[in-house]
Structure 1
């Protein structure tokens, strides 16, 4: 009996040691990766220094693993001064698309008053103007995929409660036309979706919704032109899952035409509620 008890204690100690070893290993791996691929501030694009662990401050009387968990892997994702240079989407905002409105008495923006959207509701993090416009350009075209960490963190801070309420079963990034994605090397919406999934635990499905038409850039088109351009642009590939609530994520909301076009296809597959979460919202009307 004593031998079995002793073996149990030794086994637990071994497991604890392995856990500590994994945490320490991850910390030094992060240090190496930050040196080779340093994170950049999504607003100014300058390198962000990481706050590494000072082991000399550890209290020997407290559990080592608990202390390590509380401080390990800390990383600022944006410079404090840079956070003041972007315009967050705050209340009051449109109850449908999430675009800022003039006052609390205004429930819907002018676009949502004029047009009926197919999606249930959408939210956005930032107003698409000033420094965030340059940030989005680098995120899309200059391989600044690490920006997605900041965007996802802001999304959870700002809309974590909303996500709990709408309770999406899966995150679907707006797809790119396959040739464009190959040329660019990545889909920024999918990168954002993956980071959001890490923080929320909501799985990502980037395979089901396909973009089957190579549409021209929608910038500069009015809502009607955008709708016509996106007609039959999306296709559901072997959609057999019984999703009822889906969250669509993308970089910029302008008129909602992309969200509507995807929602139209999902509704055909009996998806009841489609929500949107966008990094930025612009004035599309």
Structure 2
């Protein structure tokens, strides 16, 4: 799915992202697989889901030397036991043979779950919630990975933090996209 078309309004709503790409629509088997992966602890699904995303990125010619994950707040990570975006990013780096920058993207405060929230609330929830801790990003292109994108608010907030740390273009990528 392409969210960088001129007519979709995404550039105005997602100013920090260069573009947003998703492999599939969040429905049917994709929705079921991601739900099992994220909420039922089926970590073994990270590899096939990342493979699906990687294939889409290769077909579209989307690449970057670095891949980072959307971080969870430590309390949410402890509750869930893992960060699904970390697992996807690690698999994506392995498949695409790229690295991770010297540092980490962190969630600086707990944020409410985005599920069921409208666009405005989603953007407000994650505004200034992320920070890059590490080496300067020196203008490098980065892929920031999440499992599902709905409005793109979380990916855009991550991109803002990466841009403030000196990155070049930031592409948000997700396995699935909710169509609204």
Larger Rg: 1
1:219 partner SS: coil
Residue equivalent to 1:189: 85
Residue equivalent to 2:36: 138
> How far 1:136 moved relative to its partner?
1.3
CA contact (8 A) 1:173 1:206 kept: no
Residue equivalent to 1:266: 162
Residue equivalent to 1:201: 97
Distance 1:191 1:179 in 2: 18
Q: Are residue 108 (structure 1) and residue 7 (structure 2) matched?
A: yes
Q: What value does the CA root-mean-square deviation take over the aligned residues?
A: 2.1
Q: How does 1:1-285 map to 2 (within 5 A)?
A: 89=1, 93-96=2-5, 107-109=6-8, 111-112=9-10, 115-162=13-60, 165-205=61-101, 207-284=103-180
> How far 1:140 moved relative to its partner?
0.5
Distance 2:136 2:14 in 1: 28
Structure 2 spans left out of the alignment, 5+ residues: none
Distance 2:94 2:72 in 1: 22
Count of aligned positions: 180
| Structure 1 pair 226–205 and aligned structure 2 pair: CA distance change class (3 A) | same
> How far 1:243 moved relative to its partner?
4.7
2:43 partner SS: coil
| Structure 1 pair 145–205 and aligned structure 2 pair: CA distance change class (3 A) | farther
User: TM-score, normalized by length of structure 2?
Assistant: 0.89
> How far 1:156 moved relative to its partner?
2.6
User: TM-score, normalized by length of structure 1?
Assistant: 0.58
Deviations 1:241-279 (A, max 9, x none): 425200001011111111111111111122120001101
Comparing 235-244 with 212-221, which one deviates more in the overlay? 235-244
1:267 partner SS: helix
> How far 1:116 moved relative to its partner?
4.6
Deviations 1:140-161 (A, max 9, x none): 0111111111112222322214
Residue equivalent to 1:68: none
Structure 1 spans left out of the alignment, 5+ residues: 1-88, 97-106
Higher relative contact order (Cα pairs below 8 Å, separated by 6+ residues) = 2
Distance 1:275 1:180 in 2: 25
Would you tell me which structure has more strand in proportion to its own residues? 2
